[in-house]
Amino acid sequence: MTIIGAPINRTDGWAKVSGTALYSAEHKVDGLAHAVLVTSTIASGRIKHIDTGEAGKVPGLLLVMTHENVLQLPRETKAGKVSPPIGRVLSLLQDADVHYNNQPIAVVVAESFEAAREAGARLRVEYEIYERAPAKLDFEEAKQHVHPPEKVLTQKPDTQRGDVQAGMLSGSASIDATYRTPVEHHNPIEPHATIAAWDGEQLTLYDSTQYMKGVQRTVAGTLGIDPENVTVLCPYVGGGFGCKGSVWSHVLLAAMAAKMAGRPVKLVLDRNQMFGPVGQRPVTDQRMRLAAMTDGRLTASAHDTVACTSMIEDWIEPCGLMTRMMYEVPNQETSHRLARMNLGTPTFMRAPGEASGSFALESSMDELAWELGIDPLLLRLQNYAERDPGKDLPFSSKSLRQCYALGAERFGWSRRDPAPRSMRDGDKLVGWGMATATYPTNRSKGAASATMLPDGSAVFRSSTQDLGTGTYTVMTQIAADALGVPVERVRFELGNSQLPEAPVSGGSTTVASVGPAVLAAGGALRLKLIGIAVADERSPLFGALAEDIDVRDGELFLRADPSRRDAMAAIVARHGSGAVEVEAEAEPGDASKQFSMHAFGAVFVEVHVDELLGEVRVPRVVGVYGVGKLMNQKTGHSQLMGGIVGGLGMALFEETVFDKRNGRAVNGNLAEYHVPTNADIGSIEVLTVEEVDPHVNPLGAKGIGEIGITGVAAAVANAVFHATGRRIRDLPITLDKLL
């Protein structure tokens, strides 16, 4: 294998920079009408009436779809009950209830976007607000009534081992602190967008999604139609970060409006509508208790999370899972609780659980190190887990020691004076902080097809997604190696629900799930071509044994006599069928029962803090990761770097602020919801250590989509403490908190 791992350029790079890559809202569909979503302006209550009189005067208006005239969706289908619809609890205008501000309450369709927007603005919505049951918009109040979630991903909400109380008392130093992470919104540059077109019973959806097959099944199940009648297309995604992993209301509303209007309909969320109906990272309060002996060895740890959820659905941020597996500690408790609020339902966002949980765990470890008077890195090493203490399983591989060592060396950690406020650069306080990064290595079943064409090029296909991460590129590399053809002769197609099934591109699983299927399809196609050649008397390889044949650069040859060779193109041409095709599936075995599988890393951060203004700058980050086999050095490092940038956003900028009177996001735009820009980012050095993992999947690759963000916020907070002596326990670390 030679192409896997190589730092080749993105195969879709040219299409993207030249503007020929079409995103969901850009597809040309005949007879297209334009829809806008109208959303609620209250957080709780019900709609008494929607007056459409003024809207009706807008020229070009085609449809105002409200709860008063909408299609009634089936409550039962062949597949079972559709209440709530498959997946998430959606707002599909089936009743008049309002559960959060910015909830979809109507769709307006017109000949032009401008007309739809104008008509939408003219709707007069009359609400009934229940005076006795005011909207729950205060987390402090909501926290007074919590309930446990059923599960935390696949794990239990609470765990306990040993005796935490005794462990806390037996330590010579302890920490009891609560960390807060705010509501954040994903804000991919491409907003959610759907074009829905019906042709009789057939529905075609161009939808920006992280899960083609999920859209197909959810839409079919909710509308009560056969999934065979739904085709989802999405060749390019302009960022997802988790919000496009679920099907939200607008996708179905677009399909319903298209049916009612009798026209294909395009519905694009405006930026403000990204703040409510399409998921968010919930606010969390995480109480950490840690105790350790003088040498740093932990005697107890406890991690108790309370997160908000919506009134209509339970979704828990899995903050405590990292704590269960990260450090060797004899006494431990973790718990997760939910507090209902009149906000949109939370969802997966950029390393859900590990990003937010690592802020609490890795900040508290830093606090403990300071209490004990030992180096923060040494504290991690003193508690290094050789096997997963939560699952009591060995790790499939773990290179965290190497990550710590290499990161410390590259960063210059040994030159750190541990005393806060001890380092300066001119009038800036300088702080150095570090934290551990980790993310689980997941895998699902995947499938792919491989086709050899008579011109010697190969096409591989799977209904997977490329969120901008590099799926097109790395699958092309895997396919080229598996088949034995030059990478330029392989084309990889994705983004079509009719292609062989692939799982959601969430949880950093795409390479681990689809990669093995592409590998298997390439191998199967190679074998099939060999079989055709040795059975064809026109082939120079006629009569040879299949196992004696090798392949290179698109040619089969006899290992013992390389002059006997046959090009794949020639084999297909003689075969007469036009193309030779195979399909393959790959699914995880029971490795996850035998091993705990995670990627690990270490992140080191330098901050400069302006003492007078409280401004924090991050001139330098070093992140070192053990992620198994990296599929592409260039796109892989870019992805890890992008994760670190997301982590800096979490540390310093990102927070959705709600108006406590009405539950509206007051910074629901990209001017006031701050994400890092180039000017906010200094040097980011990304390194990976050699790591061979034969257990995770046949490629030995661990997911890298999300680990980059983990640990960063804690490392920044730890560096800010080192610079200033001020411990900031609530994100983001804005200047007001430092003044």
Q: Does 152 bind ligand MOS (CB under 6 A)?
A: no
3-state percent breakdown (helix, strand, coil) of the chain, nearest 5: 30, 30, 45
Q: Say if strands 298-309 and 332-340 run parallel, antiparallel, or are unpaired.
A: parallel
How far apart are CB 738 and ligand MOS at their closest, in Å?
29
Is residue 643 helix, strand or coil?
Answer: helix
Cα 360–chain centre separation: 20
Q: 210 vs 635, which CB is nearer to ligand MOS?
A: 210
How far apart are CB 633 and ligand MOS at their closest, in Å?
23
Q: 50 vs 349, which CB is nearer to ligand MOS?
A: 349
Footprint on residues 548-567 left by ligand MOS (CB under 6 A): none
How far apart are CB 464 and ligand MOS at their closest, in Å?
13
Which residue in the list 362, 654, 691, 706 is annotated as catalytic? 706
Residues 466 and 211: their CA atoms lie apart, in Å, by 10
- The residue type of 300 is A
Identify which range of 10-18, 125-133, 240-248, 632-640 contacts ligand MOS by CB under 6 A.
Answer: 240-248
Identify which range of 100-108, 194-202, 234-242, 457-465 contacts ligand MOS by CB under 6 A.
Answer: 234-242
Write out the DSSP string of 2-40.
-STB--PPPTTHHHHHTT-SPPGGG---TT-EEEEEEE-
Place of tokens 């209490």: 371
Q: How many CA atoms lie within 13 A of 580 on its CB side?
A: 27
For ligand MOS, which residue of 221, 235, 352, 522 counts as binding (CB under 6 A)?
A: 352
Mark residue 552 as left, alpha or beta (left: phi above 0; alpha: psi -120 to 50; beta: remaining).
beta
- The residue type of 160 is Q
Q: 104 vs 352, which CB is nearer to ligand MOS?
A: 352
Residue number of the CB closest to ligand MOS reads 242
Residue 661's CB is within 10 A of a number of other CB atoms, namely 9
Q: 355 vs 372, which CB is nearer to ligand MOS?
A: 355
Helical H runs in 395-500? 400-411, 471-483
Is residue 210 helix, strand or coil?
Answer: coil
Q: 279 vs 433, which CB is nearer to ligand MOS?
A: 279
Identify which range of 155-163, 168-176, 236-244, 683-691 contacts ligand MOS by CB under 6 A.
Answer: 236-244
Q: Does 348 bind ligand MOS (CB under 6 A)?
A: yes
How far apart are CB 240 and ligand MOS at their closest, in Å?
6
Q: Does 266 bind ligand MOS (CB under 6 A)?
A: no
How far apart are CB 508 and ligand MOS at their closest, in Å?
7
How far apart are CB 9 and ligand MOS at their closest, in Å?
25
Q: Does 157 bind ligand MOS (CB under 6 A)?
A: no
Footprint on residues 486-525 left by ligand MOS (CB under 6 A): 506-507
Helical H runs in 309-444? 321-326, 354-372, 376-382, 400-411
431 has which bridge partners? 607
Q: 376 vs 507, which CB is nearer to ligand MOS?
A: 507
How far apart are CB 706 and ligand MOS at their closest, in Å?
6
Total residues interacting with ligand MOS, rule: CB under 6 A? 11
Q: Does 454 bind ligand MOS (CB under 6 A)?
A: no
H/E stretch holding 714 reads helix 712-724
Q: 505 vs 688, which CB is nearer to ligand MOS?
A: 505
For ligand MOS, which residue of 34, 289, 350, 729 counts as binding (CB under 6 A)?
A: 350
How far apart are CB 438 and ligand MOS at their closest, in Å?
14
Residues 44 and 98: their CA atoms lie apart, in Å, by 5
How far apart are CB 683 and ligand MOS at their closest, in Å?
27
Q: Say if strands 446-452 and 458-461 run parallel, antiparallel, or are unpaired.
A: antiparallel
Identify which range of 158-166, 346-354, 618-626, 661-669 contacts ligand MOS by CB under 6 A.
Answer: 346-354
Identify which range of 349-357, 408-416, 683-691, 713-721 contacts ligand MOS by CB under 6 A.
Answer: 349-357
Enter the DSSP assignment of 236.
-
Q: Does 668 bind ligand MOS (CB under 6 A)?
A: no
Q: How many CA atoms lie within 13 A of 507 on its CB side?
A: 17
How far apart are CB 241 and ligand MOS at their closest, in Å?
6
Q: Does 242 bind ligand MOS (CB under 6 A)?
A: yes
Q: Say if strands 598-610 and 428-440 run parallel, antiparallel, or are unpaired.
A: antiparallel
Is residue 358 helix, strand or coil?
Answer: helix
Q: 33 vs 215, which CB is nearer to ligand MOS?
A: 215
Cα dist from 723 to 25, 645, 648, 649, whole Å: 47, 21, 17, 19
425 has which bridge partners? 428
Q: Does 349 bind ligand MOS (CB under 6 A)?
A: yes
Work out the angle between the directed axes of helices 568-575 and 510-534 (0-180°, nearest 10).
70
How far apart are CB 443 and ligand MOS at their closest, in Å?
14
Q: 296 vs 708, which CB is nearer to ligand MOS?
A: 708
Length of the chain: 739
Nearest to 428 by CA among 681, 615, 604: 615
Q: Does 210 bind ligand MOS (CB under 6 A)?
A: yes
Q: 240 vs 454, which CB is nearer to ligand MOS?
A: 240
Write out the DSSP string of 528-592.
HHHHHHHT-TTSTTTT--GGGEEEETTEEEETTEEEEEEEHHHHHHHH-SS-EEEEEEE---SHH
Q: 349 vs 631, which CB is nearer to ligand MOS?
A: 349
Residues 716 and 711: their CA atoms lie apart, in Å, by 9
Identify which range of 238-246, 256-264, 395-403, 605-613 contacts ligand MOS by CB under 6 A.
Answer: 238-246
CB 492 within 8 A of CB 632: no
Q: 346 vs 352, which CB is nearer to ligand MOS?
A: 352
Is residue 701 helix, strand or coil?
Answer: strand
> Is residue 606 annotated as part of the catalytic site, yes or no?
no
Is residue 215 helix, strand or coil?
Answer: helix
Six-digit token string for 178: 């609560």
Residues 13 and 462: their CA atoms lie apart, in Å, by 20
Q: Does 245 bind ligand MOS (CB under 6 A)?
A: yes
Residues 311 and 89: their CA atoms lie apart, in Å, by 10
How far apart are CB 242 and ligand MOS at their closest, in Å?
3
Binding site for ligand MOS (CB under 6 A): 210, 240-242, 245, 348-350, 352, 506-507
The residues carrying an active-site annotation are 706
